[in-house]
Amino acid sequence: MLELLPQQLANGLALGSTYALVAMGLTLIFGVLLIPNFAHGEFYMLGAFITYALVASGLNFWLAMAAAVVLVTGIGWIVDRVVFQPIGSAPGHSAAQGSGLSMMISALAGSIILQQVATIIWGTEARTIPAPMTGVIQTPYFTITALQLTVIGTLTAAWIAVWLVLHRSRLGLAIRATSQNRDAALLMGISMTQVRLATFGIGAALGAVAGALLGATFPIYPSMGVTPVLKAFVVLVIGGIGSLPGAIAGGLVLGMVEVMVAGYGASQFQDIGTFVILVAVLLIRPQGLFGRAQVER
Amino acid sequence: MEKLRSGRATCLILGLILGLGTLPAGAGRASAADEIVIGEIHPITGPATFYGLPESRGIQLAADRINKAGGVTLGGKSYQIRIATEDDQASPTTGVAALRKLVSADVRFIIGPLASGVAPALKPIIERNDKLTQLIDGTIADDMTNGKNIFRNQATASGYNVAVVKLFSARKYKSVAMMTDRFHAGFMNSQKTLAADLKGLGVTTASEDFYKLGDTDFSATLTNLRGRNVDVLLIRGYPAEGALITKQARQLGFSGQVVWEMVSPPSTVLKNIPAAEMEGVFNCIPLTTEDYVKLGDEKAKALDQAYRGRFNEGPGELTALSYDAVYIFKAAFEKAGSLDNAAVNKAMAALKVADIPELVTRYTPQPDGRLFASDGQVDLRGEVSVWRGEGWEPASLKD
Amino acid sequence: MLRIDGLSAGYGRLEVLHAVSFTVERDLPTVMLGANGAGKTTLCRVISGLIPARAGGIVLDGADITRLSPAERVRAGIALVPEGRQVFPDMTVRENLRLGAYVHGEPGRTGFDAVFAMFPILAQRQNQRAGLLSGGEQQMLALARALMSRPRLLLLDEPSQGLAPKAVALIAETVNRIAATGVGVLLVEQNLILAQAIARHAVVLETGTCVADGPAGDLLAGGAVADSYLGKTRRHRHVV
Ligand SMILES: Nc1ncnc2c1ncn2[C@@H]1O[C@H](COP(=O)(O)OP(=O)(O)OP(=O)(O)O)[C@@H](O)[C@H]1O
Ligand SMILES: [Mg+2]
């Protein structure tokens, strides 16, 4: 069994990076706008389906993925405008945010509607995007597919790109300020419209990238986003809500744990492993691996 | 004002969600005097469409052929068959609602359902209703029939396993790793017996792993498989996961034989895995409509042609079963000479395979020649097929 | 320079401010007094645009700003040092200051130098996370951050909260210096020492209504303040 450990670690890394990729967009939107965006799973699903449709009509995978990212970004804006903004500005809520519950309910409604639309367009049968690459890389210790490496590479690239936007641009400064203290950010003269557009845009784009890449590995169908988004919420709790490094570390930890449980325990306990680690984190470090405990001064 | 508007939007959304769930699909009218209404419950939409729609169409084809040929003759009077289609979306709750709708429209003969989840939900309702006769043309789970008013003309998982055992004994495989959909009652319940049967052949079951519909990562399990060096990976479940497991097993360097045990239309398979990666995979299920066509069966060829002519595509794996189901009902009506459920039930139980020459599917008759065993189950055995090029074909087991 | 005219506002069904009217002159730093819950913070939030006005108007140097967005108000010259400081805890001191100047683009060296001259401690700590500063230092940062937007009118909501007398004195001195450069000041304060050190004009708010308005000396010395703190209702009166 131990000689399989390197392979299991590689499996865990590959699986974990898929979780992290989905969690990144979710944590960004949650961290900045305090929206529990269940519809993120549908950004992921639409990224996959649009890529699928374009590849099926003959477009190169990477171009299809780029187009899907652009389209899903637009859809993200529409979802924010139609689903979330009306709640945020409805009377009875402070201007700062809609109540968590109504946000959650409308996020679910948005998610269901997007799934239904996809069902009408594409039907419910599972399919897989023809993989843009099929190679398998053999090392003495483990095997990994070129596509898995691409996912890991994309995760790294996405992290760097988002980090650069957040830490090296004025817009990023505004986004970070909003996530730390929305009212204070308003007092600085930061435009919430801009921050929302940017955050939802980046979040949806990340979801679409994840969908396109993972749709070439896993079957795609209209409700494919439901489980990943639940997993991503788990990742958020593990990593620390609103923390990008947390999303990545949380995703990798979750992937590793699941693979180890399935590999050295029993495959049917894979999901139980998820919740054991969730409960453990909540007990030992409730703010998550990368979350900061709230300190009032 | 703002609040009002958002309230209305919420209602609209809710309405939409509810509305989409309850789209009516061919509600049953009250039956006219010289008409026999047969209700069929299948997943026309939802995740199992690729099984359900070709079944529903097979039923329609059979009914049309019977009607054109003069319908069902009872006591010198001929009746036309009318089909009332209900969509269960492969969901138990939708299925129960569909059944209630048919019952309230006084429909007394039911074909279906397909899904292993739906059948057990309908069973207690049908069992207690002496104005219903059900012929299941789907699920392979055990204990779905009673031989009184519930019959099934689809195989059981144990019927599938016959082919697995045949394959293992022909190929002399020494070890097997099983991966089974843990929510598939038929496969789960029959797994112990299968393992025992294989053990009888000297095959070791190196591992049994369980997954569920929608799982996507099997790498941990498959990695362990490589360490165990087994001859065969046996996958028991549905085709999307089957394809994914096969693909991931190959990527992780599994070089043994992959064997499926699942009804898996090539079009569905190919949506999830390139044909080349399927080459040589065995499948152990009863012959499908397409298999009968490939074997040159005249009745199957006629069905295939009629289906293509009407729907512009080939029939599904299970079309023949559903098509047969209508003929089984016709034979039972005529044998009973009445539309009374008790009489039809009795006639159905007594039907002999030879009574129904129109059957496409080749059932093994009971020792006394009857179609159904006393528990209402047909004897339909799995055969081994193999993936060649773009689809399945009957396999020859000699090396 | 700032005229509040029959201003009403609140949260949900609760109206907190009822037709509040008063003015702040550029050369008369003004203190607003009032018991806990009187609506002082609410007023600051309405003036800076975080909460909409339900009735009445806000006029800054002749221009009606009642309907402007918070960002537009910052550009028009209003800066608020909010209650509880509200610095961005996970950002460096320098980034906090950059955000203060957000509406003007990136602050040049001179922008930073001006506030660093006023608050040398911030210069030393400029690369430290703001959340790690002491309470007094955070208050300095909040003040410095507000100044980065080059305001015409500075609103301060209880800047003395939780500060030692020495820090309060430093704030008083700094605000006085700022006021001397022609920036209007509206100070919400319960600390009489700070109020006396800065204000030349005073307004008393009682359960959302302006109950007194007059020169700071008279009001702070007279009984109005004590009464207001005790929560006695009394008719609006001018002490002039
Ligand atoms: N976000 C809010 N939602 C609902 N009611 C609020 C909110 N903020 C303040 N209030 C209510 O408005 C009233 C005025 O509050 P405000 O904070 O303006 O008082 P204040 O004069 O600043 O008090 P303090 O001296 O304690 O700071 C209070 O009754 C308070 O309960
Ligand atoms: Mg206050």
What's the CATH number where B269 sits?
3.40.50.2300
- Tell me, using a 6 A CB cutoff, whether residue C33 lines ligand 1: no
Residue B369 included in any domain? no
Question: How confident is the model over B83-127, as pLDDT tens digits?
Answer: 999 999 989 999 999 999 999 999 999 999 999 889 999 999 999
Work out the mean pLDDT of chain C and round it to a whole number.
Answer: 89
- pLDDT of A174 over the 70 cut: yes
Q: Residue C233's pLDDT band (boundaries 50, 70, 90)?
A: very low
- Please give the structure tokens belonging to residue A262: 């399935």
For residue B17, what pLDDT is reported? 42
Question: Tokens for A42?
Answer: 């549908």
pLDDT confidence of residue A86: 86
Q: Which residues of B touch A8 (CB under 8 A)?
A: 220, 223
The Å distance, Cα C225 to ligand 1 centre, comes to 19
What's the gap between Cα B369 and its chain centre?
Answer: 24
Q: C69 vs A191: CB contact, 8 Å cut-off?
A: yes
The residue whose CA is least distant from atom 26 of ligand 1 is: C36
Beta-carbon-side half-sphere exposure of residue B113 (alpha carbons within 13 Å): 31
- Nearest of C107, C174, C112, C109 to residue C139 by alpha carbon: C174
Is residue B138 located within the same domain as residue B166?
Answer: no
Whether residues B269 and B326 share a domain: the answer is no
Q: Do A183 and C99 touch (CB under 8 A)?
A: no
Ligand closest to the CA atom of residue C38: 1
Return residues 106-165 of C near A (CB < 8 Å). 106, 131, 134-135, 138, 145, 149
**At residue B29, does pLDDT exceed 60?**
no
Count of A–B CB contacts within 8 Å?
Answer: 116
Residue B376: what pLDDT? 96
**Are A242 and A87 spatial neighbours (Cβ–Cβ below 8 Å)?**
no
Q: Which C positions 46-75 lie with beta carbon below 8 A of chain A?
A: 48-52, 69-71, 74-75
Ligand 1 centroid – CA C49 distance (Å): 16
Does a cis peptide bond (omega within 30 degrees of 0) precede residue B113?
yes
pLDDT-based confidence at C6, cuts 50/70/90? very high
**Does A11 lie at the interface with B, CB-CB under 8 angstroms?**
yes
Q: Could you tell me the distance, in angstroms and rounded to a whole number, from the CA of residue C212 to the centre of ligand 1?
A: 20
Express each pLDDT in C81-95 by its tens digit.
999 999 999 999 999
Cα→Cα distances B336→A53, B332, B351, B365, B385, Å: 53, 6, 10, 20, 38
**Cβ C37 under 6 angstroms from ligand 1:** yes
Q: Does B182 contact A at CB distance below 8 Å?
A: yes
The Cα A182–Cα A175 span in angstroms is 9
Shared domain check, B162 and B149: no
What's the CA dihedral at A159, A160, A165, A168 to 10 degrees?
A: 140
pLDDT digits (tens, 9 = 90+) for A209-226: 999 999 998 889 999 999
Contact A187 C102 (CB under 8 A): no
* C234 pLDDT above the threshold of 60: no
d(CA A279, CA A257): 13
Residue of B13 and A103 predicted with greater confidence? A103
- Give the pLDDT score at B399: 58
pLDDT for the residue numbered C229: 54
% of chain B residues with pLDDT over 70 = 91
**Same-domain pairing of B206 and B190:** yes
Measured CA to CA in angstroms, residue A135 lies from A61, A144, B246 at distances of 16, 9, 16
Neighbours of A62 (CB within 10 A): 12
Q: Is A282 on the interface with C (CB under 8 A)?
A: no
Same domain, B143 and B18: yes
Checking DSSP bridges between strand B383-388 and strand B391-394, what pairing results, if any?
antiparallel
Q: Are residues B233 and B324 in the same domain?
A: no
B218 CB neighbours in chain A (<8 A) are 267
Is C82 a pocket residue for ligand 1 (Cβ < 6 Å)? Answer: no
**What is the nearest CA distance from C17 to chain A, expressed in angstroms?**
16
Q: Find, among A272, A263, A176, A218, the residue nearest to A19 by Cα.
A: A218
* C22 vs C202: CA distance, rounded Å: 10
Helices (H), A57-181: 61-79, 85-88, 100-122, 146-168, 170-180
Give me the number of domains chain B comprises.
2
Number of domains in chain A: 1
Q: Is the pLDDT of residue C222 over 70?
A: no
Q: What is the pLDDT of residues C69-84, one digit of tens each?
A: 999 999 999 999 999 9
Per the CB < 8 A criterion, the answer to whether B126 and B294 are in contact is no
Nearest to A181 among C74, C86, C102 (CB): C86
Q: Which domain holds residue B252?
A: 158-285
Top-ranked range on mean pLDDT: pick from A79-93, A275-289, B272-286? B272-286
Mean pLDDT of A19-45: 93
Question: Which runs of consecutive H residues, i.e. helices, occur in A169-243?
Answer: 170-180, 182-187, 192-215, 226-239
Number of residues written out for chain C: 240
- At residue B1, the pLDDT reads 36
3-state SS of chain C? CEEEEEEEEEECCEEEEEEEEEEEECCECEEEEECCCCCHHHHHHHHHCCCCCCEEEEEECCEECCCCCHHHHHHHCEEEECCCCCCCCCCEHHHHHHHHCHHHCCCCHHHHHHHHHHCHHHHHCCCCEHHHCCHHHHHHHHHHHHHCCCCCEEEEECCCCCCCHHHHHHHHHHHHHHHHCCCEEEEECCCHHHHHHHCCEEEEEECCEEEEEEEHHHHHHCCHHHHHHHCCCCCCEECC
Domain limit, last residue, from B285, B312, B345: B285
B17 lies in the same domain as B141: yes
Q: Any CB–CB contact under 8 A between A184 and chain C?
A: yes
Residue A122 lies inside a defined structural domain of this protein: yes
C-alpha to C-alpha distance for B306 and B286, rounded to whole angstroms: 22
Rounded to the nearest angstrom, the distance between the alpha carbon of C138 and the centre of ligand 2 is 18
CA distance C92 to B147: 78
* A231-250 average pLDDT score: 91
Distance set, CA B229 to CA A114, A230, B278, B282, B293 (Å): 45, 35, 20, 19, 38
Whether C140 has a pLDDT exceeding 60, the answer reads yes
Name the residue in chain A with its Cα closest to that of B20: A116
A143 to B268: CB separation less than 8 angstroms, yes or no: no
Say yes or no: CB of residue C240 within 6 Å of ligand 1: no
Question: Which tens digits make up the pLDDT trace of B150-198?
Answer: 999 999 999 999 999 999 999 999 999 999 998 888 899 899 999 999 9
A190 within domain boundaries: yes
**Nearest-by-CA chain C residue for A180:** C88
- DSSP β-ladder status, C63-64 and C55-60: antiparallel
Picking from A282-286, B331-335, B352-356, C230-234, which range would have the lowest pLDDT averaged per residue? Answer: C230-234
- Is the pLDDT at B31 greater than 50? The verdict is no
Mean pLDDT, chain A, integer:
89
The Cα B340–Cα C173 span in angstroms is 102
Say whether both B174 and B280 belong to one domain.
yes
Provide mean pLDDT across the span A54-76. Answer: 96
Distance CA A101, CA A103 (A): 5
Residue burial C150-185, b: 16+ Cβ < 10 Å; e: rest: bbbbbbbbbbbeebeeebbebbbebbeebbeeebbb
Q: Does the residue A99 lie in any domain?
A: yes
Contact B142, B67 (CB under 8 A): no
Which pLDDT belongs to residue A151?
93
Residue B376 domain flag: no
Instruction: Report the pLDDT value the prediction gives residue C223, as an integer from 0 to 100.
Output: 56
Is A230 within a domain? no
CB contact under 8 A, C82 and A183: yes
- Give phi and psi for B340, each to the nearest 5: -70, 130
Do chain A and chain C touch with ≥3 beta carbon pairs under 8 Å?
Answer: yes
- Residue C209's DSSP bridge partners are C206
The H or E element spanning position A138 is strand A136-138
First to last CA, chain A: 52
Kindly state whether A177 is in contact with chain C, defined as any CB-CB distance less than 8 angstroms: yes
Q: Is C45 in the pocket of ligand 1 (CB under 6 A)?
A: no
Q: How far is A152 from chain C (nearest CA, A)?
A: 28
Query: Are A219 and B216 in contact (CB < 8 Å)?
Result: yes
- Determine whether the interchain pair A113/B17 forms a contact, defined as Cβ–Cβ distance below 8 Å: yes
Q: What is the mean pLDDT of residues C93-117?
A: 92
Tell me the percentage of chain A whose pLDDT exceeds 90: 64
Q: Rounded mean pLDDT of B50-55? A: 93
- The shortest CB-CB distance from A189 to any of C12, C74, C135 is to C74
For residues B224 and B182, membership in a common domain is answered with yes
The H-or-E segment that residue A90 falls in is none
Q: Is the pLDDT of residue A188 over 70?
A: yes
Q: Residue A94's domain spans which residues?
A: 21-224
- pLDDT tens sequence across B258-283: 999 999 999 889 999 999 999 999 99
Which one of the ligands is nearest to C32 CA? 1
pLDDT at C236 over 80: no
**Percent of all residues in chain C with a pLDDT value above 90, rounded to a whole number:** 75
Residues 6+ apart with CB under 8 A from B29: B84, B105
- Nearest CB to C99; choose among A95, A177, A191: A177
| Touch C-B: 3+ C-beta pairs under 8 A | no
User: pLDDT tier at A130 (50, 70, 90 boundaries)?
Assistant: confident
Identify the DSSP state of A127. Answer: B
A206 lies in some domain: yes
Is A117 within a domain?
Answer: yes
C84 lines ligand 1 (CB under 6 A): no
Q: Which amino acid is at B190?
A: S
- Is B209 within 8 Å of A267 when comparing Cβ atoms? yes
With a cut of 60, say whether residue B314 has pLDDT above it. Answer: yes
Does the pLDDT at position C166 exceed 60? yes
The phi, psi pair for B388, rounded to 5°, reads -130, 125
Q: Are residues B229 and B265 in the same domain?
A: yes
Residue type, A294: Q
Whether residue C95 lies within 8 A of chain A, CB to CB, comes out as: yes
Q: Please list every residue in chain B whose beta carbon sits closer than 8 Å to the beta carbon of residue A111.
A: none
Q: Per-residue pLDDT for C194 more than 80?
A: yes
Question: What is the three-state SS of chain B?
Answer: CHHHHHHHHHHHHHHHHHHHHCCCCCCCCCCCCCEEEEEEEECCCCCCHHHHHHHHHHHHHHHHHHHHCCCEEECCEEEEEEEEEEECCCCHHHHHHHHHHHHHCCCCEEECCCCCCHHHHHHHHHHCCCCCEEEECCCCCCCCCCCCCEEECCCCHHHHHHHHHHHHHHHCCCEEEEEEECCCHHHHHHHHHHHHHHHHCCCEEEEEEEECCCCCCCHHHHHHHHHHCCCEEEEECCHHHHHHHHHHHHHCCCCCEEEEECCCCHHHHHCCCCHHHHCCCEEEECCCHHHHHHCCCHHHHHHHHHHHHHHCCCCCCCHHHHHHHHHHHHHHHHHHCCCCHHHHHHHHHHCEHHHCCCCCCCCCCCCCCECECCCCEECCCCEEEEEECCEEEECCCCC
pLDDT value of position B178: 97
Determine if ligand 1 sits within 6 Å of the CB of residue C40: yes
On the question of pLDDT at C232 being above 70, the answer is no
B15 within domain boundaries: yes
Ligand 1 center–CA C16 separation, angstroms: 8
Ligand nearest to the Cα of C51, by number: 1
Are B148 and B26 within one domain? Answer: yes
pLDDT, averaged across chain B: 89
Average pLDDT over residues A181-189: 95
Question: What's the CA gap between B222 and A182, in Å, rounded?
Answer: 48
Are C161 and C84 contacting, i.e. CB atoms less than 8 angstroms apart?
A: yes
Q: Does A51 map to a domain?
A: yes
Over 50: is that where the pLDDT of A256 sits?
Answer: yes
Band of the pLDDT at B14, cuts 50, 70, 90? Answer: very low
Task: Give residue C150's Cα distance to chain centre.
Answer: 14
- pLDDT tens column, B322-351: 999 999 999 999 999 999 999 999 999 999
Residue C44 CA: which ligand 1 atom is closest?
A: 18
- What token pair was written down for A192? 């919430």
- Global ipTM: 0.91
Contact B153, B348 (CB under 8 A): no
In-domain check, residue B383: no
pLDDT bracket for residue A2 (50, 70, 90): confident
Output the CA–CA distances (angstroms, integers) from residue C202 to B327, C27, C219, in the order listed: 97, 13, 7
Is B233's pLDDT higher than 90? yes
B120 shares a domain with B251 = no
Q: What's the gap in Å between C36 CA and the centre of ligand 1? A: 8
Q: CA dist B358 to A51, B65, B297, B326, Å? A: 46, 11, 12, 10
Instruction: Residue B344: name the closest of B60, B133, B55 by CA.
Output: B133
Confirm whether B366 is domain-assigned.
no
A133 within domain boundaries = yes
- Is the pLDDT at B381 greater than 60? The verdict is yes
